[in-house]
Structure 1
């Protein structure tokens, strides 16, 4: 007899479904601390009044301008002592001891945003994300209540304008989008070898000559600009332009951190004023990028910083300090005399002397010094804030010394790296960095105590522009990765959810389109390298952006803009005898945006083992080899330092200098039900995994850059499993093997891992 579900369970299911559907409307980045869905929607129309008090009036006008520019919606801003409850949008200044906190309540009758300082502005940014992205006479906003505040005070993004100059309007647009996602620190890299970009009245040649490096390079009066994909762009900002950008940023609650590079990366300044350059007592002629530690240099830099400080009202000034070619000082009569006079033992101590002297000057002007982690060398300046870029080590060391730190480490926070396979992306520095890698980064290292972790001010994404010739390309490289920085620096650590963030991220492209902003397109999900034992390859290509099209090929050359395009979804169902190369070229409507992807699908034969289940125990067998040998095939003569049985991850073991931990695993996968299965790894850098001696996961590939999976039809029985990997921090606490029935939930390892 067929049972009919009771009304109680039908209503419960409907309630749960409604709850999921309602919450699905909210794709706010960064994720709020607290968000509760309400009932109904608020309708925003052209007759709406934005009620403000004196303190929130600038934010009200900002919102009014946004609605007019992006939707053509004419609203009215009215100033009240006490804003009437019936006002459509109310922006209330309410004191809070939580910096930048806000609350927002959206009901069918009105929108109310309350906060102090930047809080109301951040509430408006949340409201902007709740608006539909299609222009219409009225705009519908889902009812909700939000209470929110940031995790970190430093939520940063840099811009290198030395390698390629960007106009005031381009810089303003960069700041605009930062502010939309509650990023609040704009690190403006104003000087470097390739150009000096800030007007300094006392030293006019810095901009007359130093900002026109590409011009002088073309005339043969300056070295050819290496590493640039073109000749660069000449230009500089006048003081009035800088004041204009500062005011623009302040209106969006963005602090600008100016960077004036020293003592290295100073070639543009030295080209303008050669007496700044490090002298060579041997008479050798070579490229000079280092400042000579002379009294002339210190007076020069103090004069420059005085004018910089006069422009920028913020607390910090960044002085660089990275990649200084300190060995040049050992040939400089000035530096050698300084070392003798100050009893300095090495060139690193000269660097420390230089930085500390600049710090003393900045402190006399009530400013604090920020520098890259190289300023730790030779002794850290007393009040310095460290930007840790060469990995986390410098930041961890500085925090343990009770210095403030901004985490901005390679590779996670470097957006000049490609965002996918290097062969498919614009040229960049370093191996690929995906948005998932950025999102998974945690600024407060486990190596820090709770007290030490308090010295981590936040995190920052960096972009260096040797390979970035224009604003559209800049936008492509920085976004959507900057969205991950926004969420990891704002949202509570325990609220991080990679899958949810990925869904929200894809929902931002309507806003990017509205803003005419060229963020890199999302990948097609499922274009993965696949090992399978099935005789047909089936895949449906779906895409989250309406109007996107795809050109694809199987075992052909990569399609391009001239290839025939089809709309999503696309069903692929073809015979599979050996292997197939899938290549896709996806386009969207904005600025001819496109991305390319590739995947290899290989057919193998997987046979069950003759081992009897009754003879097997739960878990897998492992061996750990502590060794200096990097070739796994040469471990045959070495004995393991540890053996064991586990169904969990083999933990990372302590290592000595130059040692690595090789882990070998061996066992079986027990299948109790014939079905299609999907086998993957949760390691960010993949292990080598074999099933029936067939390689199903290749070692060393980044799972976000070159995703791999095995799609196998497995009969009931056991299948021989083996593999190996290097156990280190890159895969600590990550899942070695994930198995699920295709299209279903993951299975528990304790039920299928045997040995």
Structure 2
């Protein structure tokens, strides 16, 4: 007999089911936070229970990866699985690692997790990369007897073959164990080239048997500086850190990297940045025929110098089994050669007309030697000057121009341009971050970078081997500071270098990135904390300011003020979420100090909340036509206040929020001044922002609502306005460049977050 179900009970059951479904979906979403994003990933039903009872079944080729997984699980989860080698791994193995059975590029892999087993197959490094994806599927709570891995299917392969990260150990020395930890984290995110910057002005870090003073003297620059025998190290934040790697140290690091499928690119700087070598062996330095005494960082282009460098490179090549040797070539003070008797004689002998041709001669001599040793030369983009060596690979750091030029010449290129790939820059407002070089570079800027420029044809773009992040350590004296600067930006680099271009999704990446902090805690990695979302510079005409501070990391707390005074560790801390509600009569200055108790870290943020008044204009809508009125001004003038004195080159009406204004290339600046109206059909709350990475100036009813020249990721700006039905004057200006040509000038959203079509609200007379 069927019983009637009480509607209240039915509703409760239905609600419970919906909650269960939502929790299940949330759990699936939380589990699949793999960085870099796999090419293909699909969730399946159920999960695999991983415990010490499981056997890791491997073939001979994947045995080392099996041992790596075994060690990782033991160290991080106290799970002690056995590795068993098979001629052919049986299908019944709980965890099956097999090499050489997957289609696709070098490094491709397939990972399949079912309730009964885990199977990883791959080409070359593919099995290892599959294991790294598996590691990111594991939860990061305390060690447990059983780990549950969500069932899934993954088929994946890398976009670029060169996925690099550098480390400068010259300005501050890092120990073998610190370097190995750096390599470990690279491996977790499938980065595969470790660029080891081993020599520079502030220190020589690699043992060379034939020239022992390079380490006896050149590796102890900080020591000699304190004795007054070397120049003052004024570009360092402290006295530097001395040290060098023995050949056994180098071999140990190389083996460690090889076990993680990472190639090491050694860099031996020349002809500039050689002050440490010259301090050890003064005869290497560029001589000055005028007798003037000055700092000498340039190698003299003598036969003695070439013999010395060939001897050094011979020992370096004997250590490093990889294909490439990096010889620097950057920031050479070539003008010194014009005062050198050796260089002047060389110019006469070889028919060279200027110092750049000496640089080219120097690089080509070294290239010829490297080719004789079956090695390839890599250099910074200055090696293009005076003529590029025939087989050289260019590492483009001074922006993209050098890399684009080299690719058009059919030379291989690694893109590593300022500012996007320089991780020694601050990650947010410079006043709130540790000291660094250059303007801030956020993880969003790294993620949005595209290594294959639109200026290249598909054939030319194929010469872009990949992308690399750089870190220079003048201002970075220790490992925790280094990790803070590199992570999480290196995760954006990893996804940029690995994942398919068409599959990039910055919102998905941000969610995944924030899930990595449990792993960072597990690995004792001092990554910079994420920002509180919504702490933005704000312009509003509303009389009430409301903001809820939310944070993705469990255990985080915040200290905040609204009076402009800076909170610190002594201020009262409150748990997230925090609701802020204040009456606005004038303006507020929000300052936050966020701490994460798990790692004893903190970050600071600031936001200025400005109160304004805006009123509709009196113009009739009947007189208006769609689009904004533009004036394009070509000038060398950088002060926008003086633009009215400059002749307007072009006038135009642009009907889109994406202006498509092409900058001039004749050495002038292209200023774009625009004016018109925003037409509001329905009274309500609206948000106005700009999609320009470097913001334009936007004025509404004569009030600045977006300030010009601010990086949208470093100092985010928005206007939250209550607008009545009517027409509001809009004006502004910006400098047109290649980047903002395809970016959105203005975005207007409703209170519900719906973005309106520009053609429905942008008008002019």
Match of 1:661 in 2: 670
Answering whether residue 133 of structure 2 is matched by residue 123 of structure 1, we say no
Which of 212, 216, 220 lines up with 1:212 in the alignment? 220
Which of 31, 38, 42 lines up with 1:32 in the alignment? 38
Match of 1:695 in 2: 704
Q: 1:233-254: per-residue Cα shift (whole Å, max 9, x none)?
A: 1100000010000000000000
Q: 1:649-696: per-residue Cα shift (whole Å, max 9, x none)?
A: 222325142212211222222222222111100000000001111110
**Residues 550 and 576 in structure 2, CA contact (< 8 A), matched pair in contact too:** yes
Listed as ranges, the matches of 1:19-418 within 5 Å are 22-95=28-101, 96-135=103-142, 136-418=144-426
CA distance in 2, matches of 1:12, 1:657: 62
Q: Which moved more, 1:550-559 or 1:335-344?
A: 550-559
Which of 442, 445, 459 lines up with 2:467 in the alignment? 459
Listed as ranges, the matches of 1:602-641 within 5 Å are 602-637=610-645, 638-641=647-650
Match of 1:722 in 2: 731
3-state SS in 2 of match to 1:436: helix
3-state SS in 1 of match to 2:151: strand
3-state SS in 2 of match to 1:109: coil
CA apart distance, 1:611:
2.3
Runs of 4+ in 1 over 4 A off after TM superposition: 11-21
CA apart distance, 1:224:
1.2
TM-score (norm 2): 0.95
Q: 1:183 to 1:506 in 2, by over 3 A?
A: same
**Residues 655 and 759 in structure 2, CA contact (< 8 A), matched pair in contact too:** no
CA distance in 2, matches of 1:711, 1:313: 59
3-state SS in 1 of match to 2:279: helix
**Residues 55 and 83 in structure 2, CA contact (< 8 A), matched pair in contact too:** yes
Listed as ranges, the matches of 1:563-712 within 5 Å are 563-637=571-645, 638-712=647-721
Answering whether residue 743 of structure 2 is matched by residue 734 of structure 1, we say yes
CA distance in 2, matches of 1:361, 1:90: 46
Q: Which moved more, 1:721-730 or 1:355-364?
A: 721-730
**Residues 683 and 735 in structure 1, CA contact (< 8 A), matched pair in contact too:** yes
**Residues 405 and 456 in structure 1, CA contact (< 8 A), matched pair in contact too:** yes
CA apart distance, 1:590:
4.4
CA distance in 2, matches of 1:296, 1:29: 49
CA apart distance, 1:138:
1.2
CA apart distance, 1:49:
1.0
CA apart distance, 1:13:
13
Structure 1 gap ranges (5+):
1-10
Q: Which moved more, 1:20-29 or 1:737-746?
A: 20-29
**Residues 657 and 747 in structure 2, CA contact (< 8 A), matched pair in contact too:** no
3-state SS in 2 of match to 1:594: strand
**Residues 23 and 37 in structure 1, CA contact (< 8 A), matched pair in contact too:** no
CA distance in 2, matches of 1:656, 1:745: 38
Q: 1:573-628: per-residue Cα shift (whole Å, max 9, x none)?
A: 01111110000011112442111100000100111122233332232222222223
CA apart distance, 1:716:
1.9
3-state SS in 2 of match to 1:634: helix
Match of 1:530 in 2: 538
**Residues 738 and 746 in structure 1, CA contact (< 8 A), matched pair in contact too:** yes
CA apart distance, 1:76:
1.1
**Residues 663 and 669 in structure 2, CA contact (< 8 A), matched pair in contact too:** no
Q: Which moved more, 1:236-245 or 1:497-506?
A: 497-506
CA distance in 2, matches of 1:263, 1:32: 42
Match of 2:763 in 1: 754
CA distance in 2, matches of 1:668, 1:397: 43
CA distance in 2, matches of 1:232, 1:625: 49
Match of 2:528 in 1: 520
**Residues 657 and 746 in structure 2, CA contact (< 8 A), matched pair in contact too:** no
3-state SS in 2 of match to 1:729: coil
CA distance in 1, matches of 2:746, 2:176: 50
**Residues 618 and 647 in structure 1, CA contact (< 8 A), matched pair in contact too:** no
**Residues 518 and 590 in structure 1, CA contact (< 8 A), matched pair in contact too:** no
CA distance in 2, matches of 1:749, 1:478: 39
CA apart distance, 1:754:
2.2
Which of 474, 489, 492 lines up with 1:481 in the alignment? 489
Q: 1:563 to 1:18 in 2, by over 3 A?
A: closer
3-state SS in 2 of match to 1:286: coil
CA distance in 2, matches of 1:501, 1:97: 24
CA apart distance, 1:207:
0.4
3-state SS in 2 of match to 1:423: coil
Aligned residues: 747
- Compute the RMSD of aligned alpha carbons: 1.8
**Residues 651 and 727 in structure 1, CA contact (< 8 A), matched pair in contact too:** no
Q: 1:329-362: per-residue Cα shift (whole Å, max 9, x none)?
A: 1111111111111111011110100000000000
CA distance in 1, matches of 2:549, 2:516: 21
Match of 2:11 in 1: none
